[in-house]
Amino acid sequence: MKSYRSFKAGDVILWRGEPLEFVASMVQGVASLSKTLEDGRTQMVGLLLPSDFIGRPGRKQIEFDVTATSDVTLCCFDRVPFERLVDETPHVAQRLMELALDELDAARDWMLLLGRKTAREKIATFIEMLARRGRSNTSNLTAQSELPMTRDQIANYLGLTLETVSRQFNALKKEGIIDFKNRHQFEVKDIIALNEATGDDADGGVLS
Amino acid sequence: MKSYRSFKAGDVILWRGEPLEFVASMVQGVASLSKTLEDGRTQMVGLLLPSDFIGRPGRKQIEFDVTATSDVTLCCFDRVPFERLVDETPHVAQRLMELALDELDAARDWMLLLGRKTAREKIATFIEMLARRGRSNTSNLTAQSELPMTRDQIANYLGLTLETVSRQFNALKKEGIIDFKNRHQFEVKDIIALNEATGDDADGGVLS
DNA sequence: CAACAACTTTGATTCAGATCAACTAAATGC
DNA sequence: GCATTTAGTTGATCTGAATCAAAGTTGTTG
């Protein structure tokens, strides 16, 4: 009923349109949801971090590709018995609705970012999100965080090119707002300036 | 329990963060969901057409403004008894989940548009969507459709400026792909060319 | 550890779409 | 039906980010 599956960085976990045989919970690693245009331009439409859920109650297929961004472990459940469980347990159905609404809110925040934010604002928002959501597991207090993707993947998430991502990271570093321990570990040095750089309402994060 | 409410074009139906007193179904008109940055840049994150649902099962507030784009009539239900109905009727809860997943799919398609499509592709996608979704009520066969928003609102929906919207509409008109009866009535003259101009996979619409 | 591949940075140049600025057409009110 | 306002078009110019083009780094593998 329950099984673990592993994927290497770069592996495709699910293709768009493929029948969904299982639902899953992210155990470790980072995966991305992405959509592609005819000519190959791609846009990530979601990130899956540990504890996130993969699956669509009542749907037999998905409208995007799911790809392992880093090495990934999933905890999988067969779809059919899982759906039976959902039908029989209102509490679980309710929880899934909450998750769907959270994803919807996240998608809409990202629409604002993609449609209206400058490259600098996009990068600042992305860093701020990682610093908040993907806190490194050793301590909750250090601002040291993982950057779990390549510049190219970040570009596809933010609707930019990898060159622009690189330039904006280095601009924020030069200004002393962030610092890099190495290419995939960063630290927020000035959270106030970072928040200002996102373009969001000052109280946006506090209220939500 | 059930009541009708009317709004004039431009009226704000709900503000972000406002407690949700009611849920509603769109009876007529068009409303938009939008988000705003500190400095006033705004991005529409959804459109509500007749028969669409306003409300968030289990949530007491919304994360965006809802504004009447044209004159709007809503059929409203008090939130508390509605939630009781949802809790007691699995079938209704299931239907709401379906609606949420549809919105999520729509949001993700729009993320691809906002992040990766050119101005021309955005306009073509928008027209194609209206021609498909908002077919004029007199006949299902004519390609005559309503354009239920101003150039400025369209720009906020597509992540463009009104000038660019105007230029791209006129470019498509000059190419004979669409034609305008007046500013708010258009007709698709060449559906093949329009589809090509969207940048989507040729089979995208057929499979979904 | 050398050689190779993958990723990142940096610089020069270009271009799509934004911005600025008139001007025109359509609604709305008196 | 004329005046005023609001919405839309069109042109000129500017600019942020894309594209093109090397180098420089880091990581991997025999």
Instruction: Catalogue all structural domains in chain A, each as residue range(s) with its CATH number.
Output: 2-113 (2.60.120.10), 118-207 (1.10.10.10)
User: Pick from A26, A90, A22, A88: which is nearest to A56 by CA?
Assistant: A22
CB contact under 8 A, B101 and A43: no
CA at A119, C1' at D17: how many angstroms apart? 8
**pLDDT surpasses 90 at B201:** no
pLDDT at residue A143, as a whole number: 67
Cβ atoms B58, B97 nearer than 8 A: no
The percentage of residues in chain B with a pLDDT greater than 90, rounded to a whole number, is 83
Cβ atoms A75, A52 nearer than 8 A: no
pLDDT at residue B1, as a whole number: 75
CA distance B38 to B41: 7
> What is the average pLDDT value for chain B, to the nearest integer?
91
pLDDT at residue B82, as a whole number: 95
CA distance B133 to B151: 19
For A38, A131, B156, the CA distances from B117, given in Å and listed in that order, are 11, 29, 15
Q: How close does chain B come to A81, measured CA to CA in Å?
A: 17
**pLDDT surpasses 90 at B207:** no
- For B125, counting Cβ atoms within 10 Å of its Cβ (0-12 exposed, 13-18 middle, 19+ buried), the class is buried
**For helices B90-116 and B119-133, angle between their N-to-C axes, nearest 10 degrees:** 150
pLDDT at residue A58, as a whole number: 87
Contacts for A31 with CB less than 8 Å, ≥ 6 apart: A7, A13, A47, A48, A54, A66, A67, A68, A69, A72
pLDDT at residue B205, as a whole number: 47
**pLDDT surpasses 60 at B140:** no
CA distance B26 to B38: 30
Region B22-38: mean pLDDT is 96
User: Pick from A20, A42, A21, A44: which is nearest to A31 by CA?
Assistant: A44
User: Pick from A20, A17, A13, A100: which is nearest to A60 by CA?
Assistant: A20
CA distance B167 to B185: 17
Residues of B with Cβ-Cβ distance to A97 under 8 angstroms: 57-58, 93, 96-97, 100
**pLDDT surpasses 80 at B138:** no
Region B27-37: mean pLDDT is 96
Q: Show the DSSP H helices in chain B as ranges.
A: 79-88, 90-116, 119-133, 151-158, 162-174, 191-197, 204-207
User: Pick from B77, B81, B83: which is nearest to B58 by CA?
Assistant: B83
Region B97-121: mean pLDDT is 97
CA distance B65 to A135: 31
pLDDT at residue A168, as a whole number: 98
Q: How close does chain B come to A138, measured CA to CA in Å?
A: 33
Residues of chain A with pLDDT under 70: 134-143, 203-208
CA distance A122 to A127: 9
pLDDT at residue B208, as a whole number: 43
User: Residue A120 CB closer than 7 angstroms to strand D?
Assistant: yes
Cβ atoms A186, A196 nearer than 8 A: no
Residues of A with Cβ-Cβ distance to B208 under 8 angstroms: 63
Region B156-165: mean pLDDT is 98
The string of pLDDT tens digits covering residues B38-80 is 999 999 999 999 999 999 988 999 999 999 999 999 999 999 9
Cβ atoms B206, A17 nearer than 8 A: no
The percentage of residues in chain A with a pLDDT greater than 70, rounded to a whole number, is 92
* DSSP conformational letter for B78: E
